[in-house]
């Protein structure tokens, strides 16, 4: 058993080939089963190739148990040996060299309620160049504001460790008071932005209802935080305020995760009613046409950034609009 990683079983690390005498002696009666299992893996898999791993064409596979911490330390040791050095990351000012002496980082994930007792939010930042030092200032490029990196932590499962310094390739957690978004750039120079994480157009849509009126404030807070994480996308009808928002997702499983987290983290029971629309597009130019406002097969909404979004009942309706208004530019995402 073990208690979810709280205990560690005794282990010995033996290096060698499956037929080695030392391994056979250590395994005893299980040596034959081990040999057969390894032969099966060799037949089904491929030989380790560092170049293929670096190109993303091959993934090494390790066996162990997180419940008992069995095999975890050898895995971490080998992972450090196999992991490639940090790459230059593309930006709107060209590739940023990880060897640069100026700090830069990229927010690739935001997680709310990592500590249920404190309802905190953590922005995960990959250090891309220079050195992150605790207490020093950097620039939040999107807002052009200076930030002091006072509370940076290393996270491993549920454990946290304060960080004094971090280097390219390191991932640190920064306390997020609500200013970070996925894709944000932090940079001492403040004069470039890293390329964002690719996003996908939602294909499933639901309208949110909450049975208990007194939970509407908690609903608004939960939707705000979880949509900032990128769990789902939030849309509202212009002028409707916070009433009955519409959510979009790439797959319906995202709605199941949302309902579970809203119930467990915010004590809000959601009712999600499917809507008939299947396609979302962001207009890039003047879009206001009578056909768009009057059609029952099209809904005009706004996203979290107050940008107009058009929901179409199906691909056929969207193509019909594009043929009717060829000058209308429609993008699959709001990026």
Domain ranges for the chain: 21-82, 104-187, 204-331
Q: Both tokens of residue 293?
A: 């406002």
Report residue 3 CA to chain centroid gap: 28
**Global pTM exceeds 0.75:** no
User: 266, 277, 270: which is closest to 310 by C-alpha?
Assistant: 277
The Cα-based distances of 191 to 86, 102, 188 in angstroms read 21, 12, 9
Q: How far apart are CA 32 and CA 39, in angstroms?
A: 11
Closest CA to 185 of 122, 142, 231: 142
> How far is C-alpha 6 from the chain's CA centre?
27
Rg, C-alpha atoms of the chain: 25
Distance in angstroms (rounded) separating the CA atoms of residues 252 and 233: 12
Looking at domain 204-331, which of 3.40.50.720, 3.30.70.3280, 3.30.70.20, 3.40.50.1000 is its CATH number?
3.30.70.3280
Tokens (6 digits) for 9: 């079983």
Q: What is the pLDDT of residues 272-290, one digit of tens each?
A: 999 999 999 999 988 888 8
Q: Report the pLDDT averaged over residues 109-116.
A: 81
Q: How confident is the model at residue 83 (pLDDT cuts 50, 70, 90)?
A: confident
273 closest CA partner among 306, 245, 313 = 245
- Give residue for tokens 């309802």: 119
Above 50 in pLDDT, residue 1? no
Higher pLDDT, 263 or 70: 263
Predicted confidence band of residue 2 (pLDDT cuts 50, 70, 90): very low
Contact 69, 3 (CB under 8 A): no
Say which CATH architecture domain 104-187 belongs to. Answer: Beta Barrel (2.40)
Asked whether the domain spanning 204-331 has the same topology as the one spanning 104-187, the reply is no
Q: By the 8 A CB rule, do 69 and 156 touch?
A: no
How far, CA to CA in Å, does 7 sit from each of 75, 77, 183? 17, 20, 37
């Amino acid at each position: 058993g073990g208690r979810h990683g709280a205990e560690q079983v005794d282990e010995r690390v033996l290096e060698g080939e499956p037929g080695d005498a030392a391994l056979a002696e250590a395994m005893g009666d299980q040596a034959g089963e081990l040999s057969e299992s390894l032969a099966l893996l060799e037949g089904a898999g491929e030989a380790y190739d560092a170049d293929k791993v670096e190109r993303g064409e091959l993934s090494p596979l390790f066996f162990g148990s997180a419940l008992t911490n069995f095999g975890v330390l050898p895995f971490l040791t080998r992972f450090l040996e196999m992991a490639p050095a940090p790459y230059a990351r593309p930006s709107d000012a060209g590739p940023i060299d990880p060897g640069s002496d100026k700090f830069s980082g990229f927010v690739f994930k935001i997680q709310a309620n990592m500590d249920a007792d404190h309802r905190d939010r953590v922005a995960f930042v990959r250090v891309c160049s220079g050195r992150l030092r605790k207490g020093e200032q950097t620039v939040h490029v999107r807002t052009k504001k200076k930030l002091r990196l006072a509370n940076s932590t290393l996270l491993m499962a549920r454990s946290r460790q304060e960080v004094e310094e971090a280097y390219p390739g390191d991932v640190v957690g920064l306390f997020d008071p609500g200013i970070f978004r996925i894709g944000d750039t932090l940079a001492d120079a403040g004069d470039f932005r890293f390329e964002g994480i690719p996003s996908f157009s939602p294909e499933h849509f639901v309208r949110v209802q909450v049975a208990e009126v007194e939970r509407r404030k908690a609903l608004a807070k939960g939707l705000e935080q979880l949509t900032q994480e990128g769990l789902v996308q939030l849309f509202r009808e212009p002028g409707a305020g916070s009433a009955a928002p519409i959510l979009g997702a790439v797959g319906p499983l995202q709605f199941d995760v949302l309902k579970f987290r809203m119930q467990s983290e915010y004590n809000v029971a959601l009712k999600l009613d499917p809507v008939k629309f299947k396609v979302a597009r962001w207009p890039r130019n003047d879009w206001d046409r009578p056909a768009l406002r009057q059609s029952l097969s099209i809904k005009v909404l706004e996203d979290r950034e107050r940008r107009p979004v058009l929901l179409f009942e199906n691909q056929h309706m969207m193509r019909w609009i594009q043929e009717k208004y060829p000058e209308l530019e429609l993008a699959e995402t709001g990026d």
